[in-house]
Structure 1
C-alpha cells in the first residue's frame, strides 16, 4: 500500500477514536435539592421541629402569626435562611394582597410584612392563585424586592402565575417551586411526593420542594432527609439553587428557559 494511503487510513482511525471516547470514568450528573417549609410562626412546637431539620432548610414565616418575629430571629441565629411567606388572595388578613387594592396599599402591606419578619432574605407567596396572575402588581412586587436586594420564590399555586416571569424580566434573583410534598396529608402520599422530588432532581438536575409543618410531613422529613446523600442528592441552600438555575425556567414552567404562564 502506498505511504500516502497508509497515512490517510491512520488519520481516519484516529478520528474515530476521538469521536467515541471512553466514558466509563465520567462523573454522574449532579442532582440538587432545596427545601422550603411554609406557614411558620403559628405553632411553636412545630416551628421548632422545622428549625431542627438537619440541613439548609429555608423557613417561610407568615407575617400575621403570633410568633413571626421571635421565630425569625431564632432561625437567623441558627444559621437558617428566613423568607416572608406573603399572604395573597384568596388569603386574608392585614398583610394580604388582593387585586382590588391600590398600588400604594399593596406597598404599605409589603413594607409591614417585611418589618414583621426580621432577617428575611426573600419572599414567597402564601396562596395567591388570584394575585400572582396580576401582571402589574407582580411587576411592582419584583421591583420592590430588587430594590431591597431580596429574592423571590414563586410557589406556583396556579399555572396562571406571572410572578416568576416578572422576576425574570428584570433579572431579579428567583426560583420556582417544582414539587409540593403534602397536598395530601398521609404518610404514603408525602413519602411518594419526596420520591417524585428525588426523581425530578435526577432527571432535570435540580428540584425546589415546598412542605408544611404538618406532623406527617415533619415525621417523614426527619426520617428521610439524612438519606438524601445516599440517594445521590445534594441538599443545597436556596441561594445556591438560585445561582444554579441562573433565573431560567424549568421545562415544566416554560420553554427554552423563559416562563410561559398558562391561562
Structure 2
C-alpha cells in the first residue's frame, strides 16, 4: 500500500507541537519489533502484543515468509528488516557492492518478506552513511510505494536525509528499548520514550523479541493511555510527522 502525505496530513504535521510553552496536547508513540522470523515462539509473542505493533522481519531467517503472511493476515504492518553492513549474509548491503547487486539483494529480500509496506535497516552503521547507495534506495522505495524507517544505528546515517530530499514517506527511530537487556533498563527506556513523546509530540521506539523485552511491553503497553499516550500505527505516524526531522535528528525539521 502506498503511503501518501495528504494535504491534511501535511497541515497536521505543520501545526505547532506545543501550546503556550506547555507539553503537546496529544502525544503519539509507534512501536517496531525488529529481528523477527527466527523463532516461531518469539514471533508469536511479538504478534500478540496488544496494539498496532509493526513487525520487522529479517529475510535471512527460516520463518520469514510464513511469519510475514501470518502477520499480514492478523492485520499488522509488516516491514522488511534489511541487513546492511556491518551485517553479513546473502542479502546484506555492503559499500563495495555495485548498485546492480544491491538491487538484486533488495529484490530477493522483498520476495522473502511478502506484504512488506516498508523497510528499515538491520545494523547498517556503515551502509547507511553511503550517500550514493541511500539515494538510490530511497528512489527505488518511492518507485515501489514503500516507506523507509531509518533505524539510526549511526550518527553518520544519511538515509532519512536522502528520503526527505525526494519526499519519500519516512521516519527516524527515536528510542531503542533494549540495548541493555534488563527489565529495569527497558522500562526506563520506555518511560524515556513517553517523556520524549510529550515533549516533541511523538516518539518512535524499536525493540527486539527478547523475553525480557516482551515481559516489559506486555505489562506496560496497556498503561500508555493512562499516561496520555496514543499508540498509533506506523503509517499514521508517518503522516503526522510529515517527513519532518525531530530535534534530535536535525534542525528546523531538516535532517542534518
TM-score by length of 1: 0.88
What aligned pairs does 1:104-143 form with structure 2 within 5 A after superposition?
104-143=100-139
CA–CA distance in structure 2, aligned partners of residues 103 and 79 of structure 1: 34
1:176 pairs with 172, 178, 181, which one? 172
- After superposition, the C-alpha distances for 1:88-125 in whole angstroms (9 at most, x for unaligned) are 00000000000000110000000001111000000000
Aligned to 2:190: 194
Detail structure 1 runs of 4+ shifted over 2 Å in the superposition: none
What aligned pairs does 1:7-22 form with structure 2 within 5 A after superposition?
none
Aligned to 2:5: none
- Deviation at 1:69? 0.2
CA–CA distance in structure 2, aligned partners of residues 42 and 144 of structure 1: 27
- After superposition, the C-alpha distances for 1:216-240 in whole angstroms (9 at most, x for unaligned) are 1000000000010001000000000
Aligned to 1:10: none
Name the SS of the counterpart of 2:248 in structure 1: helix
CA–CA distance in structure 2, aligned partners of residues 96 and 157 of structure 1: 15
Tell me how large the CA RMSD over aligned residues is. Answer: 1.3
CA–CA distance in structure 2, aligned partners of residues 163 and 94 of structure 1: 22
Aligned to 1:35: 31
- After superposition, the C-alpha distances for 1:45-64 in whole angstroms (9 at most, x for unaligned) are 01000000000000000000
CA–CA distance in structure 2, aligned partners of residues 62 and 27 of structure 1: 37
Unaligned runs of 5+ in 1: 1-22
TM-score by length of 2: 0.91
Aligned to 1:72: 68
What aligned pairs does 1:244-255 form with structure 2 within 5 A after superposition?
244-255=240-251
Unaligned runs of 5+ in 2: 1-18
Name the SS of the counterpart of 2:179 in structure 1: coil
CA–CA distance in structure 1, aligned partners of residues 38 and 79 of structure 2: 15
Are the structure 2 counterparts of residues 214 and 27 from structure 1 closer, same or farther at C-alpha, using a change threshold of 3 Å? closer
Name the SS of the counterpart of 1:123 in structure 2: strand
What aligned pairs does 1:147-226 form with structure 2 within 5 A after superposition?
147-226=143-222
